[in-house]
Structure 1
Amino acid sequence: MVRDLTRSHPRCKDELDRLAKILVSDLDRVSAAVVTRVLTEIPELGSPDSETSWETTMASGIGNIGALMSMMTYGVPANAGIEPPEGALEFFRAMIGRGADITAILRAYRIGHAELWNQWMRVVSEGIENLEDLPEILTVSSAHMFSYMDSVCERLVAEYEPERRRQLTSAAAQRVATAQAIVAGEDVDVDSAGARLNYRLRRHHVALVLWPASRRVEAQGTEGLERYAFALAEELGTECPLLVPASRGCVWAWLGAADARRLAPVIAAEPPPAGVAVAAGAVGHGLEGFRESHRQAVEARRVCGLRERPPTDVVHYRSVSLLAALCTDPASAQRFLVSELGELNGPDEATRRLRTTLGTFLEVGSSHARAARVLGIHQKTVAYRVHRAEDLLGYRITDRRAPLEAALLLSAFLEG
């Protein structure tokens, strides 16, 4: 049971009041001793040499010690439901923001309590006027300190999860807003934006757009997509990726590195897991590279959306840049196919084989022999199919080679 300060002997109460005032008069030194011990014994809360860590923890120490002593002086019960001091709440919020868990925060209070008791014992032993009052003073002050610390810690435990969720939500919303501002071309300060994103912008980047390509992955939310982005970053040996949720279950991601060569292997990356689709931009540098690589990844994603089936490999913008230009307007792209291919645009399997053969023939330099080797058929079959394709086109392939190759490329891509 907590000893009631108001029921202590009047002389002891006066002595407590006097001794508490002695400690409060030296509050800065006492708080500094408490803070030094806390930061030394719990390095994850920050270093005593860090100005930010020191100021935040000092504000908490001064607030808590001042409140505790004032309550003891005026006989206010330590568990009276008084709100923790603002400095203590700022320390609490700052520690959560740095990733400290509730265990570390409560340990800081226990260590701080131990050091405060040492400081209080020093004041009492040096300043007490009547040694007969010592047992009563120590009993009452100890009970008061323990009760105050218990009350504050109970409140912090209750507030930890709501505050952590609030900070996570706030930080996530800030990252989304900042990334959207950058890719929209808004004028932003690169260092401030990088701090909000927790991602360094003054380096090389590769942007990705990830989206679910199966109902199983879609049901997982963004978990499967984010897992792949982290796995790719680990494979490349880069820092953690920047991940930003986008619309319709998509995720925007950026991988960053000081050396552009570290990002080059994205081109040869292993296929993503089943159900995960990925589009990638080219390597860019700085804020503009961050923005342009994302634009390219979004374009590659848009082109993939025109296909009959989702991609199974990472789709790089460089491999579909021509298609992206051709498919700016999907309706116009379809009209282009019909106009250029005519009857060769038919959906049946025989006509598809003619398109494939003609496309391969043009790709290998109009060589029947090379096309035959690539396709694994006789070169006379290649010659027949090319001739048959020209009949369906209604013109010789040498007459409109460039638009014909573009149309065949587009057709092959859309068919998946």
Structure 2
Amino acid sequence: MTPDTLHDAAVARVTALATLMGTQLPMLTRTLHKVLAESIEDLQGDQLIVELLGASIESNVETVAHILQYDVDVDKVATPFAAEEYARRLAQRGIAPLALVRAYRLGQQQVLDWAFDELDRDADATVALAAGRIIVDTTFRYIDRISEQVVSAYESERVRWLANRNTVRKAMIEELLRGDQVDLAAAEGALSYRLRQNHVGVVLWSTSGSTGDESLRQLERLLQQAATAAGCSGQPLFVPRDRSTGWGWIPLGRSHSEIMMVGDDEGDHWIAVGSAAAGADGFRVTHLEALRAQQVALAARDRAERVTAFSDPQVRTAAMMAADLEGTRRLVQKALGPLAADTEAAARLRETLQVFLTEKGSYLATADRIHLHKNTVKYRIDKALEERGRPLDDERLELELALVACRWLAGTVLLPAPL
């Protein structure tokens, strides 16, 4: 048999096989559908997606049959509508594109297995082999072209879907934070987050200088770590605020326990945390508390704590004073005098004095708490009062407020160090 004769015989065999494929389309679709639905775990449990997968399979197999039967140029074939719609639905559900590409690889394998089972019945093995090569080449080029197109459709839909979803989420969060009356079921659907539970609001921000996307990913990971450490069953809600700031809510279910968060020791990431609160109103309140805790941290600048928690009574007091920094500066200067200097020596005296007041004037309890000798504590207290220029009980409330302000607002309210 000459090469031309062999080629003609192989093409005729491919045409006959493609015609048979068309007549067996329902059977082939059912077989492929069963194999793919069982093999791709991401699709299981979503009936609509599984049904759409069947439509995609049928349209692709039918297209391949027409290409083989009528010798259609693969480069001019458009993606079947059902196949594009299947890709778009996967994007909307956040199913990874790997599931999309894998379906085409598995589908090609099943079609080739069917084709070679049919060719094995041929008496002329040479013609069957040549026909098989044509089928392999054609199906490969088709899968290569179509998978590229459906992945492109997936990516475009994913970008559009996320943009729309983020717009809806942003609008819903704004309504909740304004205290508007909202349909809780609709709000939970828009946010993919359960409002009818206890939450802890978190504000996270970065000073690392990383790119916007990388910085936000780091903040989201930090929020996820806190939720995991707290044993939360649900996923936390993370909302980018700008390129270096994110808002978060950690779901507590029925628990009222506070969240223990660990900051970044290298100083790149900062966290402000609200108190546990319940329901849609609690969603708003705990967030507002986190924002107030953030104000304290921002006022303290680089001397802020890595984690500033509104549940700390001193933070709540400092938050009120941070709302009027000018007035707080005057209070600090009036209550402390030279003790308000921004120096290490003054800071040690202020810290000792604050613990002394907390321990109700006990030198021994203060010494135990800050790990100093009792005589050292007494020396520091005497020195602090000497710097202040007034006795301990002279306007004591202002003294305690001033010490809290110095502790949490740092250089923003302290006097410049003397030259």
User: For the Cα contact (< 8 Å) 2:66–2:72, is it kept in 1?
Assistant: no
Aligned residue number for residue 127 of structure 1: none
Task: Check whether the contact 2:212–2:243 (CA below 8 A) recurs between aligned residues.
Answer: no
Once the two structures are TM-superposed, the CA of residue 197 in structure 1 deviates from its matched residue by 4.3
1:34 is matched with: 32
Matched, 1:109 2:98: no
2:32 alignment partner AA: V
- Check if 1:284 corresponds to 2:283: no
Q: In the alignment, which residue of structure 2 is the partner of 1:61?
A: 57
Alignment-mate amino acid for residue 64 of structure 1? N
Deviation at 1:361, TM superposition (A): 3.3
Q: Cα deviations across residues 174-228 of structure 1 (Å, max 9, x unaligned)?
A: 3475156315435555445445544444433323222234558999634543443
Question: How many aligned residue pairs are there?
Answer: 395
Change (3 A) 1:306 1:15: closer
Q: 1:14 to 1:143 in 2, by over 3 A?
A: closer
Partners of 1:367 and 1:17 in 2: CA distance: 95
Match of 2:288 in 1: 295
The answer to whether structure 1 residue 317 and structure 2 residue 310 are counterparts is yes
- With over 3 angstroms needed to count, the CA separation of the structure-2 counterparts of 1:140 and 1:335, relative to structure 1, is same
Q: For the structure 1 residues 397 and 228, does the alpha-carbon distance in structure 2 shift closer, same or farther, using more than 3 Å as the test?
A: same
Could you list the per-position Cα deviations for residues 257-316 of structure 1 after superposition, in whole angstroms to 9, with x for gaps in the alignment?
43526x53x33x445332222221222334333333222222211210111424344221
Contact 2:293/2:308, CA 8 A, preserved across alignment: yes
Instruction: Summarize the Cα distance change of 1:331–1:247 in structure 2 as closer, same or farther, 3 Å threshold.
Output: farther
Cα 1:352–1:31 change in 2 (3 A) is closer
Matches within 5 A, 1:332-351: 332-341=327-336, 344-347=339-342
Q: Take 2:15 and 2:206, find their aligned partners in 1: how far apart are those partners? A: 72
Distance 1:54 1:232, change over 3 A: same
Which digits, 9 at most, give the CA deviation of each residue in 1:145-178, with x for residues without a partner? Answer: 8625632433323663784476267437734751
The verdict on how the C-alpha distance between 1:32 and 1:324 changes in structure 2, with shifts beyond 3 A counting, is same
> Alignment partner of 1:221: what SS?
helix
Residue type of the partner of 1:46?
L
CA distance 1:366–1:173, change in 2 (3 Å): farther
Q: CA 1:200 to 1:63, structure 2 compared with 1: closer, same or farther past 3 Å?
A: farther
How far apart are the structure 1 equivalents of 2:114 and 2:358?
84
- Shift of residue 79, structure 1, vs aligned partner: 0.6
Give the Cα–Cα distance (whole angstroms) in 2 for the partners of residues 310 and 173 of structure 1: 39
Amino acid at match of 2:242: S
CA distance in 2, matches of 1:283, 1:150: 58
> Could you tell me how far apart the structure 2 residues matched to 1:234 and 1:85 are?
43
| Partner SS, residue 274 of structure 1 | coil
Percent of pairs with identical residues: 22
The one-letter code matched in structure 2 to 1:182 is: I
Write the deviation string for residues 113-166 of structure 1: whole angstroms up to 9, x where unpaired. 455578889999xxxxxx99xx99998799468625632433323663784476
2:205 matched to which residue of 1? Answer: 211
Moved more, 89-98 or 382-391: 382-391
2:414 aligned residue: none
- CA–CA separation in structure 2 for the residues paired with 1:12 and 1:384: 105
Cα distance in 1 for residues equivalent to 2:36 and 2:291: 49
Contact 1:84/1:152, CA 8 A, preserved across alignment: no
Q: Offset of 1:327 from its aligned partner? A: 1.3
State the distance in 1 between where 2:385 and 2:94 align: 70
Amino acid at match of 2:311: R
Q: 2:324 maps to what in 1?
A: 329
CA 1:199–1:87 in structure 2 vs 1: closer, same or farther (change >3 Å)? same
Q: Unpaired segments of 5 or more residues in structure 2? A: 412-419
| Alpha-carbon distance, 1:57 to partner | 0.5
Instruction: Say whether 1:147 aligns with 2:138.
Output: yes
Deviations 1:46-68 (A, max 9, x none): 23x64223222022123223434
Amino acid at match of 2:395: R
1:17-416 equivalences under 5 Å are 22-23=23-24, 27=26, 30-40=28-38, 42-47=39-44, 50-70=46-66, 75=70, 77-95=72-90, 97-102=93-98, 104-113=99-108, 115=110, 143=134, 147-148=138-139, 150-157=141-148, 160=151, 163-164=154-155, 167=158, 170-171=161-162, 174-175=165-166, 178-179=169-170, 181-183=172-174, 184-185=177-178, 188-214=182-208, 221-238=215-232, 240-260=235-255, 264=258, 266-267=259-260, 269-275=261-267, 276-319=269-312, 320-341=315-336, 344-347=339-342, 352=347, 355-367=350-362, 370-371=365-366, 374=369, 376=372, 377-378=374-375, 381=379, 384-385=382-383, 387-388=385-386, 391-392=389-390, 398=393, 400-415=395-410
| Structure-2 change in CA distance of 1:331 and 1:83 (3 Å) | farther
Specify the alignment match of 1:128 in structure 2: none
Q: Distance in 1 between matches of 2:144 and 2:116?
A: 23
Secondary structure at the aligned position of 1:151 is classed as helix
CA distance in 1, matches of 2:329, 2:270: 24
Shift of residue 88, structure 1, vs aligned partner: 0.5
Residue type matched to 1:327 in 2? A
CA shift, 1:322, in A, is 1.6
Name the amino acid aligned to 1:318.
Answer: S
Amino acid aligned to 2:323: T
Q: Gaps spanning 5+ residues in structure 1: where?
A: 125-130
Q: Secondary structure at the match of 1:231?
A: helix
Task: Decide whether aligned partners of structure 1 residues 122 and 235 sit closer, same or farther in structure 2, where only a CA change above 3 A counts.
Answer: same
